[in-house]
């Protein structure tokens, strides 16, 4: 299909709402509060937020596991209410929980899932998918014999049996070791290079910073930021000048007392400043004016963790499901 015929957005939410009804033990609980979000086709999109922010509710609505209370949702340009079957066929979801029959083999698991989606036998890619996630040698083992990391890779293959253009990964590397995490990152990049739109929720900010083109931060059921990654990293208009003194310092020099300066455990002096308000040359001059000398210096840029904390940590502690 030519690109001109493809939708601009892989997933779209307009005024999306979800309120869980009241029970005997709790009042009605709003989980999503009019979420507007558009995820571009072909991107690797990160959806971040504290526990209970509403990420899983958002994903479950698109996966057909949760009914929305209001608003509209579209997958690959198709409304999930008007064309539910076609919309759901355009998405694959890798859940946090490992949910497979442990008495099937990986090959049988993929064949069964392909059958659920109505994929003709001649068009099934079970062997290809097993190879792609590094499980060819476990083809005929029972799922119960696989390690946790292998099961997680099998979940990815399972979500891809019907060749969906959109793949949602809900905490895909939770609880796996660093080596496997890197392998999964490489596989995700490979899928994206072949045109699959990836939507990633993760608690690992390093993962989002490494993989994602665009990031949305959801907090208390509302989107508090949605920007290209590089733009988001520039939200914090500050840097840190790290000075390693030639001799240990007993305290922050008097000449820098008016600055946001601290001595780190390793003995380095860290001075945080905002762009345009002060120059590095001025801070170095003030440091020299104290009589101290510099052995080395460097600057540090803010990272995604800084942005995440600035948008969520001080915003209150209420939570959504």
Number of alpha helices (DSSP H) and beta strands (DSSP E) in the chain = 10, 14
Residue 293: pLDDT band (50, 70, 90) is: very high
Phi (first) and psi of residue 149, to 5 degrees? -65, -40
- Other CB atoms within 10 A of residue 187 CB: 17
Helix (H) or strand (E) holding 185: helix 178-193
pLDDT score, position 319:
41
Q: Where in the chain is the domain with CATH 3.30.70.100?
A: 238-301
Q: What is the pLDDT of residue 318?
A: 42
pLDDT the model gives residue 130: 94
pLDDT one-digit tens code per residue, 132-164: 888 999 999 999 999 888 888 899 899 999 999
- Please tell me which residue, 135 or 209, carries the higher pLDDT value: 135
Task: Give the whole-angstrom CA distance, residue 46 versus residue 51.
Answer: 15
Most confident segment among 22-26, 287-291, 297-301: 287-291
Q: What's the whole-model pTM score? A: 0.74
- Residue 308: which residues within 8 A CB-CB, separation 6 or more? 48, 205, 217
Tokens representing residue 106 in the block = 């990986």
R_g of the chain computed on alpha carbons: 24
Give pLDDT tens digits for 162-205.
999 999 998 887 767 777 778 888 888 999 999 999 999 887 77
Q: Which helix (H) or strand (E) holds 224?
A: strand 222-228
pLDDT number for residue 275: 66
Confidence of residue 235 (pLDDT cuts 50, 70, 90): low
Q: pLDDT by residue (tens digit) across 32-65?
A: 999 999 999 999 999 988 888 899 899 999 999 9
The proportion of the chain whose per-residue pLDDT surpasses 90, expressed as a percent, equals: 57
Give the model's pLDDT for residue 233. Answer: 73
Query: What residue ranges of the chain are covered by domains with CATH 3.40.50.300?
Result: 3-90+164-233
Distance in angstroms (rounded) separating the CA atoms of residues 215 and 307: 11
Q: Cα 180–75–305 angle (5° rounding)? A: 45
Whole-number pLDDT of residue 148: 82
- Residue 2: its pLDDT value, please? 53
What is the pLDDT at residue 44?
96
Mean pLDDT of the chain: 88
CATH code for the domain defined by 238-301: 3.30.70.100
CATH number of 3-90+164-233: 3.40.50.300
Where is pLDDT greater, at 175 or 226? 226
Closest of 96, 34, 100, 113 to residue 60, by C-alpha:
96
Least confident range of 64-68, 233-237, 289-293:
233-237
């Amino acid at each position: 299909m030519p690109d001109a015929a493809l939708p601009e957005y892989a997933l779209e939410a307009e005024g999306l709402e979800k309120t869980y009804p009241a029970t005997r033990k709790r009042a009605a609980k709003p989980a999503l509060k009019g979420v507007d979000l558009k995820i571009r086709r072909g991107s690797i999109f990160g959806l971040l937020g504290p526990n209970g922010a509403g990420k899983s509710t958002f994903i479950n609505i698109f996966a057909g596991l949760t009914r929305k209370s209001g608003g509209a949702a579209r997958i690959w340009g198709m409304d999930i209410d008007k064309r539910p079957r076609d919309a759901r066929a355009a998405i694959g979801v890798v859940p946090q929980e490992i949910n497979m029959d442990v008495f099937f083999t990986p090959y049988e698991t993929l064949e069964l899932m392909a059958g659920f989606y109505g994929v003709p036998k001649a068009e099934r890619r079970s062997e290809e998918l097993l190879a792609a996630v590094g499980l060819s040698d476990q083809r005929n083992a029972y799922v119960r014999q696989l390690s946790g990391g292998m099961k997680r890779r099998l979940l990815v293959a399972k979500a891809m049996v019907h060749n969906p253009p959109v793949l949602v990964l809900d905490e895909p590397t939770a609880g796996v070791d660093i080596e496997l995490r890197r392998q999964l990152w490489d596989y995700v990049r490979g899928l994206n290079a072949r045109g699959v739109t990836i939507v990633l929720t993760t608690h690992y900010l390093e993962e989002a910073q490494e993989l994602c083109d665009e990031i949305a931060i959801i907090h208390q059921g509302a989107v508090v930021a949605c920007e290209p990654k590089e733009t988001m990293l520039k939200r914090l208009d500050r840097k840190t000048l790290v000075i390693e003194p030639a001799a240990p310092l007993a305290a922050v020099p008097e000449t820098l007392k008016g600055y946001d300066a601290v001595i780190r455990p390793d003995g380095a002096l860290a001075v945080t400043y905002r762009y345009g308000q002060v120059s590095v040359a001025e801070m170095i001059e003030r440091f020299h004016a104290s009589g101290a000398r510099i052995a080395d210096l460097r600057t540090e840029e803010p990272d995604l963790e800084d942005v995440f904390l600035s948008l969520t940590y001080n915003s209150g502690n209420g939570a959504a499901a």
